[in-house]
Amino acid sequence: MKITKLTTYIVPPRWCFLKIETDAGIVGWGEPVVEGRAHSVAAAVEELSDYLIGKDPRNIEDHWTVLYRGGFYRGGAIHMSALAGIDQALWDIKGKHLGVPVSQLLGGNVRDRIRVYSWIGGDRPADTAAAAKSAVERGFTAVKMNGTEELQYIDSFDKVEKCLENVAAVREAVGPNVGIGVDFHGRVHKPMAKVLMKELDPFKLMFIEEPVLSEHYEALKELAPLTSTPIALGERLFSRWDFKRVLSEGYVDIIQPDPSHAGGITETRKIAAMAEAYDVALALHCPLGPIALATCLQIDAGCYNAFIQEQSLGIHYNAANDLLDYVSNREVFAYEDGMVAIPQGPGLGIEVNEEYVKERAAVGHRWRNPIWRHADGSFAEW
């Protein structure tokens, strides 16, 4: 079996899909994307395709090694996301060729479903609380919310109070046993993170996500002792080498690699195993499309330290198209009791509606991160 063609599709709301074709008629799908840089990743896929045409798609480990190590400059968001989508599609092909789910090729399942959380938003505490209550009524047992809007290095306490009011309203609305994740989203610098993390402790959160940007990881030495809440980090890290220091120094309780950014199934699986060796939990990052979610679930199936899965159903980004729009077998993502089933079909376990993908690719997207500024006109982290 040989690879004959790679085709990328830029589709709404902000995704990029990849189809890899073979001379055996088996097709694999991946989701190589960086949010706001989809076209850059598609270009990187096209460059990497030169090596792949004519190769046997089943030699995944060797292809990953060459596509990563074969360039003098390696790593980073664009390169690793392009490699991730390719890797996903190759695993999809191999699973379809053998007639088994990818999880079976990775050693089999330790679970048949996994807990998921729903993202909630709202500009006022009452709105956020209502969104949380609605998510619980739909069966979710965990939610995640943004902690703050923009914050200066040192900011006024009214912004801290607004965060506390929002979290308090959500906790009151959902009760003591629903998990609440609060995402600082890299918007918070170390001085204000000290304040927020200490003030949030009484709400017994499921985790605080990205309390500071990954490049300020050393700050966690000061921040971690201020809270009993688990600290989550890792959506902006792209390889096992990026995670090596994070895991060895011991201030992070949950890692969040994204299999559409961190080298695909091959690399993310290795990162997860590293984390297990340090007794660190796994919560794969995935505010993306159905191929990315199917990929995450195939990894979750066999990772003992996986405890919850992000997913984008109904998320505010998905106004033009939602998670299930591009799959023919929508029932494959069986949400029930706050969990989602692991797809059991061959490969990634989903059937991509290729005609609809092509139809929406004709529309495409130019999604970009919002640009925020502080009151003094300086750039604010989004």
Over the chain, what is the mean pLDDT?
Answer: 96
Residues 90 and 138 in one domain: no
- How confident is the model at residue 322, as a pLDDT? 87
**pTM score, whole prediction:** 0.96
Judge whether 358 lies within some domain. no
User: Which residues is 336 bridged to in the sheet?
Assistant: 339
Peptide bond into 343 cis (omega under 30): no
The predicted pLDDT at position 121 comes to 87
> What was the pLDDT predicted at 124?
81
Phi/psi for 216 (5° steps) reads: -105, 30
- Closest of 229, 234, 191 to residue 208, by C-alpha: 229
For residue 123, pLDDT over 80 is answered with no
Q: Around Cβ 45, how many Cβ atoms within 10 Å?
A: 25
DSSP conformation class of 259: T
pLDDT (tens digit per residue) in 28-49: 999 999 999 999 999 999 999 9
Residue 90 confidence class, pLDDT cut points 50, 70, 90: very high
Q: How far apart are CA 48 and CA 16, in angstroms?
A: 16
What's the Cα-to-Cα distance from 72 to each of 27, 67, 68, 181, 263, rounded to whole Å? 30, 11, 9, 39, 17
**58 & 20 share domain:** yes
DSSP assignment of 88-127? HHHHHHHHHHHTSBHHHHTT--S-SEEEEEEE---SSHHH
Q: Which amino acid is at 175?
A: G
- Based on the fold, state whether residues 31 and 42 are members of the same structural domain: yes
Residue-wise pLDDT tens digits, 232-262 = 999 999 999 999 999 999 999 999 999 999 9
Taking the C-alpha atoms of residue 364 and residue 205, their distance in angstroms, rounded to an integer, is 38
Q: Is residue 363 part of a domain?
A: no
350 found inside a domain? no
Name the pLDDT band for 367 (thresholds 50, 70, 90). Answer: very high
Does residue 61 belong to any structural domain of this protein?
A: yes
The verdict on 60 and 160 lying in the same domain is: no
Contact 147, 186 (CB under 8 A): no
CB atoms within 10 A of CB 27: 18
Residue 25, domain extent: 3-101
Answer yes or no: do 113 and 261 share one domain.
yes
Distance CA 13, CA 229 (A): 33
Rounded CA-CA distance 85/289 in Å is 12
In this structure, the answer to whether residues 30 and 120 fall within a common structural domain is: no
What CATH number is attached to the domain comprising 79? 3.30.390.10
Q: What is the pLDDT of residue 317?
A: 82
* Residue 351 resides in a domain: no
Average of pLDDT values for 139-153? 95
Judgement on whether residues 142 and 246 belong to the same structural domain of the protein: yes
Catalytic (active-site) positions: 185, 285
Q: List the CATH number of the domain containing 167.
A: 3.20.20.120
**What's the structural domain count of the chain?**
2
**Digit-coded pLDDT (tens) for 286-329:** 999 999 999 999 999 999 999 999 998 878 788 889 889 999 99
